[in-house]
């Protein structure tokens, strides 16, 4: 029985990867041993974790509870089981699952199996995509009740309504990475949402300007500032193109993946010089496009920039990745 052995600080990132690719062995619990965590994986997935130590667990902790896939073996025909997803997202006490058309008629059975296998889940929602620039979720309730929850991540509380605002679990590492770099700084978060970046950053920064155009998200932003007992956040309701303060920031976060038109506004928010975190969804064949856009925007404003980093945040679609450009602008 194999497991990936990683340091505690990398454990959540690797757990999410294992869940995403269906590698995690749900019949065993994750084990903690000193500074390391053992994440159980199924045979055949070792190549996905080449950068980490793969061990044979001599004393695995078995999970006596049936997983939702095991429960479904009795209610879904064998030929349809292969179309059922091996994992789902959990936000607070709510689950979100993506289903293929081939299993539409078994949607309720799948949702009930998820709830039966995970007592913490209060409701299961089907993910039908996102709508518009504000990426409003399209969801269908499959089982249980309720759409408002409080999600805990890296000691931060995020209250939200899944039907009104999105929450991306795949950005967790990026949120914490930027927060750790912001100690003592003044930061502008141009697309704050419910506080995805704002809340963790504010726990280290001197001051955070949090801008959000969506009234529903803004309401939860205010609530999350209160829940996390933060006194250094200046919330602003409005379009970042017009309400972003100029010449105030040491660091600007552009966490929306379709925000190229806001680059000059972001650069103007920096106090003469500073760090820009620019996010974009880009095809692999034009992976340098985000960097070029940042460089051109700087030149248009008579600024110089040094590209510090171009890193992948997560996969967005086949052949398309969500990346972030870290640039020092001066």
Per-residue model confidence as pLDDT tens digits over 72-110: 988 888 888 889 988 899 999 999 999 999 999 999 999
CA atoms of 94 and 16, how far apart (whole Å): 17
**Sheet holding 53-56: strands in order across?**
31-33, 36-40, 2-7, 53-56
* φ and ψ at residue 161, rounded to 5 degrees: -115, 115
pLDDT tens profile 314-329:
988 899 999 999 999 9
Superfamily of domain 168-329: Vaccinia Virus protein VP39 (3.40.50.150)
Domain with CATH 3.30.300.110 in the chain: 68-146
Q: What is the CA radius of gyration of the chain?
A: 21
The third-level CATH classification (topology) of the domain covering 2-56 is Alpha-Beta Plaits (3.30.70)
pLDDT computed for residue 60 by the predictor: 82
Buried b (16+ CB within 10 A) or exposed e, 191-210: bbbbbbbbbbbbbbbebbbb
What tens-digit pLDDT sequence spans the chain (330 residues)?
899 999 998 898 898 888 878 788 877 889 888 889 999 998 888 888 988 999 998 788 776 556 888 889 888 888 888 899 888 999 999 999 999 999 999 999 999 999 988 888 999 999 998 776 666 889 999 999 999 999 999 889 999 999 999 888 878 889 999 999 999 999 999 999 999 999 999 999 999 999 999 999 999 999 999 999 999 999 999 999 999 999 999 999 999 999 999 999 999 999 999 999 999 999 999 999 999 999 999 999 999 999 999 999 998 889 999 999 999 999
Q: Is the dihedral of CA 52, 58, 63, 69 positive or negative?
A: positive
Note the pLDDT of residue 47: 86
Predicted local distance difference test score (pLDDT) of residue 93:
94
Residues 6+ apart with CB under 8 A from 111: 95, 97, 124, 126, 142, 143, 144
Q: What is the reported pLDDT for 43?
A: 86
For 169, the token pair is: 């679990």
pLDDT at residue 75 in the model: 84
Could you give the angle at the alpha carbon of 308 between the alpha carbons of 302 and 310, nearest 5°? Answer: 105
Identify the pLDDT of residue 235.
98
Distance CA 80, CA 103 (A): 7
Beta pairing class for 270-283 and 320-329: antiparallel
Q: In terms of pTM, does the model score above 0.85?
A: no
The segment(s) of the chain belonging to CATH 3.40.50.150 are 168-329
Give CA–CA dist 310/324, Å, rounded.
Answer: 6
Domain with CATH 3.30.70.2580 in the chain: 2-56
Q: What's the token pair of residue 13?
A: 């990132």
Q: Among 3.10.20.520, 3.30.300.110, 3.40.50.1100, 1.10.1840.10, name the CATH number for the domain at 68-146.
A: 3.30.300.110
Residue 201: name the closest of 218, 166, 225, 170 by CA: 225
């Amino acid at each position: 029985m194999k497991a990936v052995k990683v340091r505690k600080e990398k454990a959540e990132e690797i757990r999410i990867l294992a869940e995403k690719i269906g590698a995690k062995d749900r019949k065993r619990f994750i084990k903690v041993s000193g500074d390391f965590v053992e994440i159980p994986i199924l045979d055949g997935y070792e190549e996905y974790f080449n950068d980490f130590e793969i061990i044979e667990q001599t004393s695995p902790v078995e999970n006596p509870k049936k997983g939702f896939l095991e429960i479904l073996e009795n209610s879904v025909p064998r030929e349809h089981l292969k179309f059922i997803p091996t994992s789902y997202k959990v936000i607070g006490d709510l689950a979100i699952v993506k289903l293929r058309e081939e299993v539409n008629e078994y949607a309720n059975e799948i949702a009930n199996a998820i709830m039966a296998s995970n007592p913490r889940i209060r409701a299961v929602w089907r993910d039908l995509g996102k709508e518009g620039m504000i990426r409003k979720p399209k969801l269908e309730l499959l089982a249980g009740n309720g759409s408002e929850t409080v999600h805990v991540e890296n000691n931060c509380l995020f209250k939200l309504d899944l039907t009104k605002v999105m929450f991306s679990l795949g950005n967790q590492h990026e949120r914490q990475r930027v927060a750790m770099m912001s100690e003592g700084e003044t930061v502008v978060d141009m697309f704050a949402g419910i506080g995805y970046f704002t809340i963790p950053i504010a726990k280290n920064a001197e001051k955070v300007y949090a801008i959000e155009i969506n009234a529903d998200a803004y309401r939860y932003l205010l609530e999350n500032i209160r829940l996390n007992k933060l006194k250094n956040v200046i919330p602003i309701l409005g379009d970042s193109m017009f309400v972003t303060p100029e010449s105030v920031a040491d660091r600007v976060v552009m966490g929306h993946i379709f925000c190229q038109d806001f680059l000059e506004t972001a650069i103007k928010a920096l106090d003469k010089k500073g760090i820009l975190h620019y996010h974009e969804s880009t095809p692999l064949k034009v992976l340098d496009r985000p960097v070029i856009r940042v460089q051109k925007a700087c030149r248009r404003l008579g600024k110089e920039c040094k590209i510090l980093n171009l890193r992948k945040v997560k996969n967005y679609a086949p052949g398309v990745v969500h990346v972030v450009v870290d640039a020092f602008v001066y």
